[in-house]
Amino acid sequence: MSAKQLEQVAQATKTAFVFPGQGSQKVGMLAELAEQFSSVTETFAEASAAVGFDLWQIAQSGEGLNQTEFTQPVLLTASIALWRVWLELGGVAPKYLAGHSLGEYSALVAAGAMSLGDAVKLVNLRGKLMQDAVPQGQGAMAAILGLEDAKVLELCEQVNIQGRGSVEAANYNAQGQVVIAGDKTLVEAVMDLAKENGGKAIALPVSVPSHCSLMKPAADKFAQALEHTAIELPGLPVIQNVNAEIATDVAGLRQALTAQLYQSVQWTKTMQFLQDQGVQYVVECGPGNVLANLAKRLPNIEKAFPLDSNSRMEDALSAILVAEGKIA
């Protein structure tokens, strides 16, 4: 669907679509839906042709699925396949789109800002550059739960003063849930301090410390690829990770995507923005239900739906159509 068509069908709905990032991948994703909708495997074939390797085979076998350079194009393609099924079934076009980290690229493809082929090539490169930026085993990420954002930042600063590198807030996911990233020893030090201060700390199984200053070298190289990629303004409003604001010009969009590699994901502010704009229904367009579960915790979100199975797709489709007054 073109950007102009998207603008025409979105109208004033109360629905937002959110697209997940790395960590939502799972072996066999979308297999059930692919049996019913040929557009799923057709989408994977289109993306595979662009990137030069078989994304569907990786998704179904799991071989290489957790390698960042493969994870990112597979997840993006899975999200777009679900988006296309949704539209094919007559699903409501959302008022806003947002994506968590990698998911921002899925949102931009869905909104017509870039082609699927260009996007999978970009995120494949993004994954390679991120992996190369920090030697294996030197970086880490952890979720800090149960502490105020300011306290988590204070603990990071306390450790950073020691001058042994850096650890920073990488993802503001929800109230009382901040992901930190940086040098492994410093991440572990903040985890210990968080526990001493009454919080919880969970090490994340990732090989790349995303959204922190260690990714600055990767961002500098990635910016060059972005400059050579055809990008248009999205046909539906896309909320950017770095500032929780809507992209209003292409130059700013490129800058935000570059900065996204080494700056924090402002997901808490993104979800607050959606609530402030009257969004009441959130649909997670990708494997899993992490973002849908986060949305359910918010006071003004009436319902949140995942889409990654036949039953979930049907439930979301009918519930949103009824809620939006499209069917009785």
Residues noted as catalytic: 101, 211
> Three-state SS for 101?
coil
> Three-state SS for 142?
strand
Residues near 252 by beta carbon (within 8 Å), at least 6 away in sequence:
none
Taking residue 3's Cβ as centre, other Cβ atoms within 10 Å add up to 15
The residue ranges of DSSP E strands in 3-91, in sequence order, are: 15-19
Query: Which residues on neighbouring strands pair with residue 169, listed in sequence order?
Result: 180
Residues near 255 by beta carbon (within 8 Å), at least 6 away in sequence:
none
Q: What angle do CA 183, 189, 195 make, to 5 degrees?
A: 135
Q: Give the strand order in the sheet containing 238-239.
A: 238-239, 96-99, 15-19, 281-284, 303-306
Distance CA 142, CA 202 (A): 5
Residues near 191 by beta carbon (within 8 Å), at least 6 away in sequence:
142, 144, 201, 203
What are the two backbone dihedrals, phi and then psi, of residue 319, each rounded to the nearest 5 degrees? -65, -40
